[in-house]
Structure 1
Amino acid sequence: MVGSNRVQRLKRKAGIVASERAVVVNKAVGYIRVSSTEQAEHGFGLATQEAAIRAFATSQGYELIEVVTDAAVSGASRPAERDGFRRVIELAEDGAFSVLLVWKFDRLARQIVYAVTAANDLQEQHGVQLRSVTEPIDTATAMGRTVFAILAGMAEQERQVITERTFLGRQEKATRGGYACGAVPLGYVTDREGGLAPDAESAVTVRRIFAMRKEGATLQAIASALNGDGIATSRGGRWWPATVRYILDNPKYRGDSEYLFRWNGDEKHVQRTGTHAALID
C-alpha cells in the first residue's frame, strides 16, 4: 500500500532530516533552568549556568546556536510542560542541533524518571545527545553512556509502561478507523468520545475548496479567493497554495483514516475507512 501524498511527504521529510543531522553534528543548544528558591538560596542562577555552558561549548568546539531558558520554574514539573523546554523540542524536531548542554543533569528535572525520559526521547526520536557541563554525563562517550544507562534503568519500567500504553492505544484506535492523534482537521470538531464530528460552519469552507478544485481552479486561485473573503485557516492565518493542497490531500475528508506511526525505528502505516462522517463525496 503506497498511501497518500501526505504520507510520502512525511517519509521524504524524515530522510531529509536524517541527512541534515550530519551537517549539525557540532551544533549545540544550551538549556538553563532555575526556581525562585534556588536563585535566592544558592546563587547558581541563570547567568551562572549560561556562562558555564558558553565556556564549555567553546572549549569543546561546539557552535552554540541558542540558550533556552526556563526561569522560576520548579524542577518537579515535567520538562515537556515548560515553555522553554518545548522550544528545545521544537529545535530538535527541525534537526537544528545534535547536542543539548545542561549545567547539571537535574536542570532537566528533579525526579529522575522525568529527566531520563526527556533525555531518552531527545536521543531516540531526534538523535540529540545530552552533555552535562559539571558532571560526567556525556552520552557521546562510553563513560557517559554507562552512567546514563544506570539512571535510565531506574526509570525504564515506568517509562515503558507509559510510552507503550499511549503508542499502542493510538495505533489500536487508528486500526479501528478512529481519530488517533494530531490536530483536528478544518471542518471537524471532537465529540464526547474523542472522535471527529462535522462542524457545520467550517465544513462549508472545506466543501468550497474541493468544489473550486473540481471546477479547475488552481491552488493559488483558491487561496486568493478564501483570503479575499476574509476566511481564516484553522490556525487563524492566511491561505497559501500549500495550505490548500494539504486540505485537498487529507483522506479524512473522504471518510478515510490514515496515520504514519514511528517509534524506536519502527514505522507503521495505517489506512482504514474512518468511523467519522465524510465531508465530500
Structure 2
Amino acid sequence: MKSVVAYLRVSSGKQERSGLGTKAQREYIATAAKSNGWNIVAEFVETVSGSIAPADRPECSKAIAACREYSADFVVAKLDRVGRDVEHVAGLMKRVDVKVATMPNADNFALHLFAALAEQERKFIAQRTKDAMAALQRDADAGKAEAVAKVNRRTQGLEKGRGKATGKEGKATIAAVAKAAALNAVTRPHIEACLYNKLNTLQAVADCLNTKGIITSRGSAWNPTAVRRLMIALDLSFDKAA
C-alpha cells in the first residue's frame, strides 16, 4: 500500500461555499485513496493564496517534509490546490512525487502538461474576453444600438453587483466560472484523445474518460449528458475530430 501525505489548501473561508473547501477536498482524496490503495499517513491544511510558491507556505513545507519522512507521495484533491502557476507545480514535483485525486493515474510528466495547458487556457480565456469587450466598446462608440445596449446592461450589472453586501453573489459566480474553466482545460486533452480514437457516441466517450480515471467536477463518473455539456463548452464535436 502506497503512503501519501494529503495537502488541502483554500484561499479564503469563502471557498467552502464555492466547492473548493477543505471538506470537499478531503472527500476527493479519501475516495481516490480507497480506489487506489493509498494509505494517508498525514494531512496538512492551510489558508493561503495559490499565488504563493508551495515552498513558501508553512503547512505545505511541512507536508513536503512529511513525504520525505514517510517515503510518501504528495497528494492534493485537484492540481490547482498546488497552485495556478505552472512553475509552482514544476517546482514541487522536483521535490516530491505528486498525485492528484481527480487524476490518480497521471504521473509527474502528465501533471506538468496539464498544469501548462490549464495556465495557457486561462490566458486564452482572459485574452478572448478582453478582445471581445474591446470590440463591443468600439461598436458602442460608433453608435451601434445593439452594442450600446449591451454595454449599458453590463455597466448596470456591475454597479448592481458592487451594491450587494461584499459582492458575494458576483464573487461566487466568478469562482464558479474560473473553476469550470480550469477543469475543462485539464480534461480537454483526455477527451480529445478519446475523439482522436474515432469514438463517435457520447456513451463511448464517457466510457473512455471513465477508463482513464477522469471524474467530473462533481466527483462522479461520466455519462452521455455530462460529455455532451463538456463538448459544447470546449467547442468539440465528432465531426471536428474526424
TM interval, shorter chain, is 0.3 to 0.5
TM-score normalised according to structure 2 size: 0.43
- Whose helix proportion is higher, 1 or 2? 2
Higher strand share: 1
